[in-house]
Structure 1
């Protein structure tokens, strides 16, 4: 793919100062909230929408949102496999400012809900669609983020790369949209149809087919509920004990993995055309699925309900202070953040649904809302206090994460199961908050600014912070 370059940069300059006889520069804007700021948001899924709704409330803030898809909704725009739905009751899986009454709504209705919210709050004119972030770098001298965005203007044309500058960068790209194939020998040697639930082609016709479903999570359960209706025979690959009843009872602690309640699923697996296999998979052949006992289960179609890349690593390279990338930062200890939102070494950067956010502690949506409000408080402080950079202190972040892991030792998520809540290398729990969702929301209601390293646009040379009251100092005493 050929990529052409285009610049679309703002210089992030500050309003002019009015000199005084005392040698200070007086700011012409006595109301500091009038300081113009630019904020870039990547992603227009549930997190991005919540962020945009809150950001719109800020005066004198220019907002740019880039979304890789052609519409809002994120995962719920992309999810289209048969039976796709939310496993959280809809009265809990919605914004507090826009209620929807359906219970366990299907994916299409959830997607329509987020579209309706975006329209109601006039967010479309702030979002550039078919535009994916491909890189971001912090400039300590200017106090600005440079975000590279590849815009796919037309399907047959080359992408155009634009550079955008912003004082604050919000990553709302989500973690459940980068789907992955299972790591099984011979998977792509299969001669039949190979499908992933997260990349479902609605044109696929499986009536009368023999279908093998790999996986036992939420998407697998939902696909099986519908699959039994059109498949002549369906094989579900799962690890369980010999009797069907026992197969459904996990050997690990209740809640160690995500709970997936579904009465239709329990009915579906008892249908005569459904066979639940307890034996693990050895490999995939051209004809079907070979299990550890040596038996070959011939199928026409394999559906991989095997989830997403949940490493929290961004799809694009993010470079912070001193040229250190986020991937390098996380190489030693795995994904870590402060309150799931701020990351040491990445000033003026915030992420929604970051490490140790409350992804399994209840509904995500209220926590996303609370996180967006926290970020807006930080932006207000940057704006009114004339702050160049707001960066969580590394010792604070380390202490927070050590505490998180210590608390998790007594919680169910450190149980004996294999779970995407845990980092594969270290075994640390990186995807769950060490408490309830209500506890999380209470914790982040009032930011602790003392946990951040703050650099101001102007700083008195002796270290005394007079910048909130007095602006530019004369050159010889300027820091």
Structure 2
């Protein structure tokens, strides 16, 4: 952890050089730093500080947080409300393959890139064919001597959306810039019907994309193994025509046989041992939603244990029996339902409204009602019966092949925003420090206190013509 805004971006040390139309990690981090500077937020941030434990104190109605800074244990911090905004795609993981200690070459994860390793002229193996591999393989293919790509499950690969030519991409031209942003957001939001398994949109888009991939994969056997046989959208769809092009270069071999074990020389499959100077794991992240530190709610229940097998929450926002605890991007948040940025903003807006209620009514504790949480998850299960995410694929959305969908909202991103705007306070349990309506004070309105229009409720509008009633 370093004194840099956007540590999630900093943790992901990619080799990837992003093309036109996409922001690099450096650009994103620069933007976040600009936001912090613009709103003067830096003095609210404790840098180089790691939370090592958090526990709910029933006696104080507060969260007690243990932290460390550069290995030095800090005093226990207290918080009325704990918001976990640690995210879900930042704790990278290596594949569960035996024999790792026996491998004598270099092992790199795409999210923890070692820039000291020179790949030029090397024999390199990449494990995985998901979003990370789609990005990294086109970048390293021209550099290496030999590239072996181990593919367990193929991904649907698509072209980039239209470039929206004629729309100004300069943020210094606000009207055109906003129009470009709206065009991009609308493009992705309109794709949601593809996620209904039996919809005409699913059938049409799948046929179109299959044809598109067939036209770009020349070898019939490669085509057979690279075009998925599961529903479009069952797992993440990746824009990556350069990826398909790279897989067909003379120095690239696609390996579809399952990896059995690491060997000193490389990776062993049923077809033999692939010699590798460097192995790159493009194998994603720990997506269990479990906190990376002990998080103890009522009666000492650790959220890591509670979510070990099946993470269940209330709308991805909180969890029953964990008072005054909120989460950004919790279980069943809309990570694959359309544009995520708007959903994150909706979460933040909801948290602000909730905290204003806590402050206004002198709330001591709040947490999702267990019954409401159960009903929400029943709705998730019912919705997913007709969604592509329960299809015949291996996906982190369902923690593998046959698990419950834990990472997708039961609806579109636009639907999510509308749901959060409704403020279903009846779905939460509240306790109060004193009189819940003490905020009413002397019973005066804001107008009576500060002055203003004492008959503001009489608005100008269309007048009823009394003569017409005669």
Sort the TM-score into its range (normalised by shorter chain).
0.7 to 0.9
Which stretches in structure 2 are left out of the alignment for 5+ residues? 155-219, 443-470
SS in 2 for 1:199: coil
> In the alignment, which residue of structure 1 is the partner of 2:285?
308
Match of 1:272 among 245, 250, 262: 250
> In the alignment, which residue of structure 2 is the partner of 1:298?
275
Per mean C-alpha deviation after superposition, the further-off stretch among 131-140 and 350-359 is 131-140
Match of 1:418 among 394, 408, 431: 394
CA distance in 1, matches of 2:98, 2:233: 30
User: Is 2:55 the partner of 1:79?
Assistant: no
Q: Is the 8 A contact 2:393 2:401 kept in 1?
A: no
CA distance in 2, matches of 1:455, 1:115: 38
Per mean C-alpha deviation after superposition, the further-off stretch among 107-116 and 396-405 is 107-116
- Residue 111 of structure 1 and its aligned partner are, at CA, apart by 2.4
Distance 1:375 1:244, change over 3 A: same
CA distance in 1, matches of 2:17, 2:407: 23
- Residue 159 of structure 1 and its aligned partner are, at CA, apart by 2.2
Distance 1:189 1:224, change over 3 A: same
Can you list the C-alpha shifts for 1:419-454, whole angstroms capped at 9, x where unaligned? 111135971100111111111111101311111111
Which stretches in structure 1 are left out of the alignment for 5+ residues? 1-67, 87-101, 153-157, 460-464, 472-479
SS in 1 for 2:239: coil
Q: Is the 8 A contact 1:80 1:108 kept in 2?
A: no
> In the alignment, which residue of structure 2 is the partner of 1:323?
300
Match of 1:428 among 404, 413, 436: 404
CA distance in 2, matches of 1:288, 1:350: 44
CA distance in 2, matches of 1:439, 1:112: 31
Match of 1:248 among 212, 226, 235: 226
Can you list the C-alpha shifts for 1:222-264, whole angstroms capped at 9, x where unaligned? 1101111210110100137971222221121111110112111
Distance 1:279 1:425, change over 3 A: closer
CA distance in 2, matches of 1:424, 1:231: 32
SS in 2 for 1:173: coil
Distance 1:427 1:125, change over 3 A: same
Q: Is the 8 A contact 1:84 1:107 kept in 2?
A: no
Can you list the C-alpha shifts for 1:72-99, whole angstroms capped at 9, x where unaligned? 223322222222659xxxxxxxxxxxxx
Distance 1:276 1:441, change over 3 A: same
Q: Is the 8 A contact 2:366 2:431 kept in 1?
A: yes
Match of 2:25 among 104, 107, 113: 107
SS in 2 for 1:303: strand
Q: Is the 8 A contact 2:262 2:268 kept in 1?
A: yes
- What does 1:72-471 align with in structure 2 at a 5 Å threshold? 72-83=5-16, 103-152=21-70, 158-239=71-152, 243-293=221-271, 295-331=272-308, 334-423=310-399, 427-459=403-435, 466-469=437-440
- Residue 414 of structure 1 and its aligned partner are, at CA, apart by 0.6
Distance 1:194 1:286, change over 3 A: same
- Residue 124 of structure 1 and its aligned partner are, at CA, apart by 1.5
CA distance in 2, matches of 1:230, 1:426: 39
- Residue 182 of structure 1 and its aligned partner are, at CA, apart by 0.7
CA distance in 2, matches of 1:394, 1:468: 28
Normalised by the length of structure 1, the TM-score is: 0.75
CA distance in 2, matches of 1:239, 1:390: 45
CA distance in 1, matches of 2:128, 2:401: 22
Distance 1:316 1:181, change over 3 A: same
C-alpha RMSD over aligned residues: 2.0
CA distance in 2, matches of 1:368, 1:244: 39
Q: Is the 8 A contact 2:320 2:367 kept in 1?
A: yes
Q: Is the 8 A contact 1:74 1:177 kept in 2?
A: no
Q: Is the 8 A contact 2:332 2:407 kept in 1?
A: yes
Q: Is the 8 A contact 1:240 1:249 kept in 2?
A: no
Can you list the C-alpha shifts for 1:313-342, whole angstroms capped at 9, x where unaligned? 0001111122222134335x6111111111
> In the alignment, which residue of structure 2 is the partner of 1:9?
none
SS in 1 for 2:75: strand
Can you list the C-alpha shifts for 1:165-204, whole angstroms capped at 9, x where unaligned? 1111111111111111111121231101111111111121
Structure with the bigger percentage of helix:
2
Distance 1:466 1:82, change over 3 A: closer
Q: Is the 8 A contact 1:83 1:225 kept in 2?
A: no
- Residue 141 of structure 1 and its aligned partner are, at CA, apart by 2.4
Can you list the C-alpha shifts for 1:395-429, whole angstroms capped at 9, x where unaligned? 11011111111111110101111111113597110
Structure with the bigger percentage of strand:
1
Distance 1:423 1:388, change over 3 A: same
Aligned residue-pair number: 377
